[in-house]
Amino acid sequence: MEIRELGEHDVDAVLAAGHLFDSPPRRDWAADFLARDGHHLLLASVEGVPAGFATGIETIHPDKGTELLLYELGVDAGFRRRGIGRRLVEAMLELARERGCSGMWVPIESDDAAAVATYRSAGAADPVPAATMSWDLTDA
């Protein structure tokens, strides 16, 4: 397995890994994401086949410094239970350290046993009960 960080010239690699995302990635959004400083996309491949990805976004706050939000983690169903998710999380942690982040965090659904197990295996603390509220700002 190979894990590499994609850069602004890797839009086609994102599109080729489109099956890993919740919805097909758009070229313009992928290009914008990859071009922004502090936005990271790690792609895991097995024998040249996209098998998983993780995205992270650096955020800075006046009393916390720079932290990395592990925004999304996805592993293709055919490649699950092989440690790819854990390795992607560990690679994102290493990237956060290299970038001088003071911490990394990820929102989860606490009843998602696979996600909780993956993050625990990569050294995360047990989840604290929390809720996320959101606004859908897209036109219906």
CATH number at residue 57: 3.40.630.30
| Per-residue confidence (pLDDT) for residue 99, from 0 to 100 | 96
Residue 140 lies in a domain: no
- Above 60 in pLDDT, residue 140? no
Of the pLDDT bands very low, low, confident and very high (cuts 50, 70, 90), residue 126 is confident
Residue 136 lies in a domain: no
| Per-residue confidence (pLDDT) for residue 24, from 0 to 100 | 96
Residue 81 lies in a domain: yes
Question: Going by C-beta distance under 8 Å and a sequence separation of 6 or more, which residues neighbour residue 22?
Answer: 74
pTM score > 0.75 for this model?
yes
Residue 33 lies in a domain: yes
d(CA 25, CA 121): 29
Tokens, residue 73: 């983690």
- Above 90 in pLDDT, residue 112? no
Residue 20 lies in a domain: yes
User: Per-residue pLDDT averaged across 45-62, rounded?
Assistant: 96
Residue 127 lies in a domain: no
Residue 138 lies in a domain: no
17-31, 58-72, 114-128: segment of lowest average pLDDT: 114-128
Residue 114 lies in a domain: yes
Q: Whole domain around residue 20: which residue ranges?
A: 2-121
Q: How many domains does the chain have?
A: 1
Tokens 């850069």 correspond to 7
User: Higher model confidence: residue 53 or residue 107?
Assistant: 53
